[in-house]
Amino acid sequence: MWSRVGRIYKWVVMPLYLFSGTFFAVAQLPEALRPIVYVTPLWHGVDLCRSLSLGTATWGGSLGHVAYLTAMGTAGYLLARRTYRRHLHA
């Protein structure tokens, strides 16, 4: 089990964290990587928090981030529920 968790952390969580715009601006990344960054949920959370804390938030941008995070959270919940039920009945 720990090897699976380690692989998920190494290949999913760490790249999401590194490319979220937390440590450096996304504008510094190559053009080819920016669309990938913009679809990650962590970037939406970081950008929302940054704009709110700096006072540069707009209603449209904030609602877009919240809608995206809500959609990803709902999709994750439904996937987890389906997976949990499948393992429970197996």
Whether residue 1 has pLDDT greater than 60? no
How many domains does the chain fold into?
1
Whole-angstrom CA distances from 43 to 4, 26, 39, 50, 90 are 25, 9, 8, 10, 36
Which residues, other chains included, contact 36 with Cβ-Cβ below 8 Å and sequence gap of 6+?
19
Whether residue 68 has pLDDT greater than 70? yes
Which residues, other chains included, contact 22 with Cβ-Cβ below 8 Å and sequence gap of 6+?
42, 46
pLDDT tens-place string over residues 11-57? 888 888 888 888 888 999 899 989 989 999 999 999 999 999 999 99
**What CA–CA distance (Å, rounded) separates 46 from 6?**
24
Full residue range of the structural domain in which residue 11 is found:
2-89
Q: pLDDT value at position 8?
A: 82
